[in-house]
Structure 1
Amino acid sequence: MNAMNFKLIKTEEDYNEAIHMMEALGDREDFEDNPDLISQFELIAKLVQLYEEEHAPVTQGHPIDIILMKMEYMDLKQKDLVPVIGSSGVVSEVLNKKRAMSKKMIRAFSEILKIDQDILNTPYELTKPTQTVANTALPSNKKAHKLFQFADTSQTLAFKERVRKTGMLMAIC
């Protein structure tokens, strides 16, 4: 593909060639003052965009994952957000996807992390709490009051049945 011979980008090779051509056009000293070069660049950019939309669509990221990545980039910890977002428990619940962000939190995250509010104001599902079952078959001492978490009810019922039948609990990894 040369500057005057434009074609649809159909292969990875065509795509790479188009990217190199855009770089070459953009690197020219007279680029900003040359409307023909700018038009060529825009046309190639549109062809690249069409190829990328078809072959490498970008899906919207999870707002909390975006927040966590930006925090890592800015070297921020959860405790750094407490003064602006709320208690450490609230910050933890939000960052662990257990609590939804309020409008106030979205504004605060946006301001602190320099993230567009529209990105953060995207609906998302919270993580579902796992069912917690107290093991009543164990003797009542401090260690016996540990709680076990299971992803669904069938696992809970199977666990309870095994404890009832054997009268003991084996190590769970």
Structure 2
Amino acid sequence: MMNWKLIKTEEEYKKALTRTMEIFHAEEGTPEDDELGVLLLLVKDYEDRTIQMPEIDVIEVIKDKMHEHGLKNKDLEPIIGSKSHVSSVLSGRREITLKMAQKLRDFFNLPAELFLKVG
């Protein structure tokens, strides 16, 4: 069992991942299980600090879902509102309201996080 510290380099990260895979199925309550817990926290911390997730455009996701389901703009009128509201939202001229987001989330079975603007 190594004495793990905060991961600061790609090399340390790779070493931690390798060790994590080696002991991934450690029995509960063993020293390897404790080491695995520490490694998982350190790896997640390093990834959170260094890996930039791409921004997801919620309008593009909605358009993709519409295409996937063979829907037209008029099919979103019960969810978003009038024909002009649907057009304004899908063109990005109008913001998606909380109520719209909730209805779109349920209608397309999307994760709520998709509608949260972070940063």
For the criterion TM > 0.5, the same-fold answer is yes
Q: Does 1:19 align with 2:11?
A: no
Confirm whether residue 72 of structure 1 aligns to residue 67 of structure 2. no
Counterpart pick for 1:41 among 31, 36, 39: 36
Aligned-partner Cα distance in 1 for 2:18–2:59: 33
| Count of residues in correspondence between the two structures | 115
Check the 8 A contact 1:15/1:51 in 2, yes or no.
Answer: yes
Distance 1:92 1:5 in 2: 58
Q: C-alpha offsets along residues 90-126 of structure 1, whole Å, 9 cap, x if unaligned? A: 33321322111122211111112333435414389xx
Query: Quick check: 2:23–2:36 contact (8 Å CA) kept in 1?
Result: yes
**Offset of 1:15 from its aligned partner?**
0.9
How many angstroms apart in 2 are the aligned matches of 1:38 and 1:113?
40
Counterpart of 1:35 in 2: which secondary structure?
Answer: coil
Question: What residue is the counterpart of 1:99 in the other structure?
Answer: 94
For residues 11 and 17 of structure 2, the distance between their equivalents in structure 1, rounded to whole angstroms, comes to 10
- 85 and 76 in structure 1: CA distance in 2 versus 1, 3 angstrom threshold: farther
Is this contact kept in 1: 2:59–2:92, CA < 8 A? Answer: no
User: Structure 2: which 5+ residue stretches go unaligned?
Assistant: none
Report deviation, 1:43.
Answer: 0.8
Query: Counterparts of 1:66-145 in structure 2 under 5 Å?
Result: 66=58, 68-69=60-61, 72=64, 75-76=68-69, 79=72, 81-117=76-112, 119-122=114-117
CA contact (8 A) 2:65 2:108 kept: no
% identity of equivalent residues:
28
Structure 2 Cα separation of the partners of residues 91 and 108 of structure 1: 13
Q: Name the aligned partner's letter for residue 89 of structure 2.
A: V
Flag structure 1 segments of 5+ consecutive residues without an equivalent.
125-173
Q: Name whichever structure is richer in helix by fraction.
A: 2
**Greater Cα radius of gyration, structure 1 or 2:** 1
More strand by share: 1
- Compute the TM-score of the two structures, normalised by the length of structure 2: 0.66
